[in-house]
């Protein structure tokens, strides 16, 4: 084998590796994970402005989103945008916010959100009657979050949820809760 044949063979092998890698990356991004960048302070301090997340697209294949899950979804008022919020209201529930506290189905006790809220939320909103197959979303930084309380279309349908937030990979890796 001469040098030209050897070089051509090595170049072809590299091109094959690059093509296979590109196809695998495309399939991974379209079917397994969703990549998202946090543009605002609406989820602070759980997720900080500028963080980059990986979401699991397979998380809700057999299961439904649960209250408290952080999900990546298509924004109902502009489906070209990805949003990241916490699931608060489940299908068929009525969500009311009184003096900043969330009440589900007119419960006497507010939702216990002490695990992720660090601000004292303000305001009265609702009631919001969550349709079947849809979810009511709120940010953790309630006083600085454009969420279901303010959207023209306040509910996110399950087929618009792209994935469950799984891990932050930039700037500092950590699991998202």
pLDDT tens profile 99-154: 999 999 999 999 999 998 888 888 999 999 999 999 999 999 999 999 999 999 99
- Is the pLDDT at 59 greater than 90? The verdict is yes
Q: Tell me how many domains the chain contains.
A: 1
Residue 3 lies in a domain: no
- In this structure, the chain runs to a length of 177
Q: Is the dihedral of CA 71, 98, 109, 117 positive or negative?
A: positive
> Are residues 160 and 120 in contact, defined by beta-carbon separation less than 8 angstroms?
no
Mean pLDDT of the chain: 90
Domain harbouring 76, CATH code: 2.10.109.10
Tell me which residues are annotated as active site.
42, 85
Residue 123 is encoded by which pair of tokens?
């305001």
Residue 71 lies in a domain: yes
Residue 145 lies in a domain: yes
Residue 24 lies in a domain: no
Task: Print burial letters for 83-119: b (CB count within 10 Å at least 16), e (below 16).
Answer: bbbbbbbbbebbbbbeebebbbeeeeeebebeeebee
d(CA 89, CA 70): 12
What letter would DSSP give residue 18? H
- pLDDT given for residue 118 in this prediction: 81
- Is the pLDDT at 29 greater than 80? The verdict is no
Residue 6 lies in a domain: no
Q: Once rounded to an integer, what is the mean pLDDT over residues 5-13?
A: 81
- pLDDT given for residue 3 in this prediction: 67
Residue 26 lies in a domain: no
Residue 27 lies in a domain: no
- Is the pLDDT at 45 greater than 70? The verdict is yes
d(CA 131, CA 134): 5
Residue 23 lies in a domain: no
d(CA 147, CA 78): 13
What letter would DSSP give residue 114? T
Q: How far is CA 90 from CA 13, 48, 65, 174, in A?
A: 51, 25, 8, 27
Count Cβ atoms within 10 A of the Cβ of residue 145 and give its class: 0-12 exposed, 13-18 middle, 19 or more buried: buried
Q: Confidence class of residue 31 from pLDDT cuts 50, 70 and 90?
A: confident
Supply the range of the domain harboring residue 158: 36-170
- pLDDT given for residue 109 in this prediction: 96
> Are residues 35 and 26 in contact, defined by beta-carbon separation less than 8 angstroms?
no
- Is the pLDDT at 70 greater than 80? The verdict is yes
Kindly report the pTM of this predicted structure: 0.84
d(CA 70, CA 47): 10
């Amino acid at each position: 084998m001469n040098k030209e044949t050897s070089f051509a063979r090595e170049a072809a092998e590299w091109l094959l590796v690059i093509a296979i890698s590109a196809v695998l990356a495309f399939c991974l991004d379209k079917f397994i994970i969703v990549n998202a960048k946090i543009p605002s302070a609406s989820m602070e301090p759980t997720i900080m402005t500028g963080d980059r997340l990986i979401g699991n697209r397979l998380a809700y294949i057999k299961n439904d989103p649960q209250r408290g899950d952080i999900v990546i979804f298509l924004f109902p008022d502009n489906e070209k945008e990805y949003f990241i919020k916490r699931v608060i209201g489940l299908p068929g529930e009525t969500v009311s916010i009184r003096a900043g506290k969330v009440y589900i189905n007119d419960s006497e006790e507010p939702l216990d959100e002490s695990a992720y809220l660090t601000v004292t939320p303000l305001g009265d909103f609702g009631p919001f009657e969550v349709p079947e197959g849809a979810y009511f979303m709120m940010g953790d930084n309630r006083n600085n979050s454009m969420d279901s309380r303010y959207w023209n279309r306040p509910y996110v349908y399950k087929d618009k949820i792209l994935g469950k937030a799984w891990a932050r990979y930039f700037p500092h890796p950590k699991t998202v809760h």
